[in-house]
Structure 1
Amino acid sequence: MTVDVRAPELPRVQGPLRPARLRPRDVVKVGSVGLRTRPLRAFLSALGIAIGIAAMVAVVGISASSQAGLDRTLAALGTNLLTASPGSTMTGGQAQLPDTAEQMAARIGPVTSVSALGKVPDAKVYRTAKIPQAETGGLSAYAARTGLRATTGATLASGTWLNEATGRYPATVLGATAAERLGIGRAGADTQVLIGGRLFTVVGILAPAPLAPELDTAALVGWPVAQEELGFDGHPTTLYVRAEDADVEDVQAVLGSTANPEAPNEVEVSRPSDALAAKKAAGEAFTGLLLGLGAVALLVGGVGVANTMVISALERRAEIGLRRSLGATRGQIRTQFLAESLLLSALGGVGGAVLGIAVTAGYALYQDWPVTVPPWAAAGGVGATLVIGAVAGLYPAVRASRLSPTEALAA
């Protein structure tokens, strides 16, 4: 009996062997090897990216929150307030509004309310008579109409506003800054200040007035008592005019000639809300500068990622040679290092976006602004980090893929 001891015939392979394909899950797994084995280095590199992204997101977020706060303020106070004040005469002197300017401005059809403020030039404001006369604290005395607070949108922080009765007696309402400089926290019958050498009882204290900042440093007294006791001449120095929203521009065009028909060119008409908008525009220029600094920080972070990846490729030559010997292609090596660079940048980008949002929220709440972070800022920041990660990891990935298995293993 004959036994066949020949080895079984192996199946024939059709064509060259193909390397195994890396699935997305495998790409993430091999790409995170360097991050897991060198966590401190990965953290420091991601931190550089995070600082740049946090700076950019925070700058955009704080600017947007500031704008939202300004919009909320204007919505509450209104943008239909106009002011008219005396300008300069043809000879360069100080012009003067006529004492009928208030009544004349009220005749304009779309005007809903008019009030006036008159500066009392020779009446200084002091806490007591013991204060040196030179130390005025930058405070001024003004005669105020009873409708001034309603027209300007000013609010009371303490006490009451002037009325027809208190306007004839030595009573005053202090602006927010004036009360602070005089050391007065609350209004009361036993609280008095010296105005023009006469004692006035503080019946009220105003909150800060965004649309009429001149009120903040003012001691306001009634129109009649200012004329009788302080030598006020009765000429207003500022008219405050509220108009229908749709007709503000038309009222602004005729307010000067209506308030002072004899010399309309000597009247300066302004819109306080425009001043707030101009202040915001100046802030946006500063925001652009901060964004530039954030971009520089982001670039520095990208250089840090590139440096990390180059060092990683040099330190892992043996690993690269072993993988190549086991059949990994150059493309798979490139994919591994690019994935590691992208993961490193993504960690920094997401962390920086979260940090930037947290900084924005904290500062906005501190300033009593609505917290507003445009979605494009966070998404754009993370997207920018991915682009930087791809660019930073491209050279190290290509360099690693070009190592031959024998050269890498011999290193």
Structure 2
Amino acid sequence: MTATAETARSLQSRMRRTLVSAQIFSGLGNGSTLALGSILAVDLSGSEAWAGSVNTSLTLGTAVTAIPLAQLALSRGRRFALASGLAAAIAGTALMVGAVITGLFVLLLGGAFLVGVASAVNLQARFAVTDLAEPAHRGRDLSLVVWAITIGAVAGPNMVGPGALVAGWLGIPAAAGPFLISAAGMVIGASIVWVFLRPDPLLTRRTMDGPDSGDGVRRRGALQAGWQIVRENRTTRGAVVAVVAAHAVMVAVMSMTPLHMQHQAGEAAGHPDTIALIGLTISLHIAGMYALSPLVGWLTDRMGPARMVLAGLATLMAAVAVTGLAPEYPAAVTTGLVLLGLGWSATTVAGSTLLVAALAPSQRIPAQGFSDAAMSLAAALGSAAAGPVMGMTGYSGISAAAAVLVAAAAVALLRLPELGR
């Protein structure tokens, strides 16, 4: 039976609830990896030069798998793509546990790479909820799915205590415990997607648009089609530049913050209070990324996505100004990290909404996949460079480099005709 707009509206509420529920549980893995990644990297490699390697592997995993997940969505639907990605991430958490137990650095990197697939899933989920969304509510629906990851992502960095208890029961190192909890959350998230994301929102949209609506894209492949679509559309280019810059800046600054705070603590670096402060800072940062997403989505629908993206970039500039000018004060670093999360949220939610609004339904999936791959690849490069940059110029140097990137993105965005309306 041919799907109608009325059918889409009736399905949208259930699709939104399903994706929100899955996001809550699937966010646990990244939070744990972000909080412990740089510390484990230094411990297992024996060198601070490798401090950013785990976060680099994490973001590379997201970048490399964003296009294949988009291709899976095109050929098999959102349900199959999202569930498959979470299955790979579950395997990644098992490798992270193995790395902690065996002390093998290469296993740590491999695990982080696969855990990064969960980020690709989370990124695709925010677009999945727009497949059947009404244009006037795209920002709201997208932001609710982004917001849903708050619980798992904020809880992840604070799984050190509960994880240590679990690890103690199993007789394994305490640092492995948080990743076991992450794996359990991902299993629940994958199960929710597989059981309840029916009918598939993308396949339903395709039925509404006609059986041939995506054939050309599927024949060319998601990567080639995505690049061509983004390149030929000025608004889409602006949206992609903004989310790429925001993600690169956020990951580069955030990934070095735990190590910077350890350095500032000096001899107390290994003290439980210092570790707790690092966990709290990362948690507040992640809360800034996700907790106010519904408000960001509402403002995006009211103000227009282009203006909201510009507001997000301004917030990112304020964030790196705080971290760059007062790196020796823990309160300033924490404040900067919260602003960093807020700026990322505004830019990502509004930029993603702008991307969807600028394109026809048949163009969205490859463009979305290309955008996700580009932002994750930029973040991986930023994370890889952050360690050496911090070694040469300190935490303030990373903040200064981030400010230059944000300014460049803002200049590109100011050229969009949408800002003149």
Which interval holds the TM-score relative to the shorter structure?
Answer: under 0.3
Q: Which has the higher contact order (CA 8 A, sep 6+)?
A: 1
TM-score normalised by structure 1 residue count: 0.21
- Computing the radius of gyration over CA atoms, which structure comes out larger, 1 or 2? 1
Richer in strand (by share): 1
Richer in helix (by share): 2
TM-score normalised by structure 2 residue count: 0.21
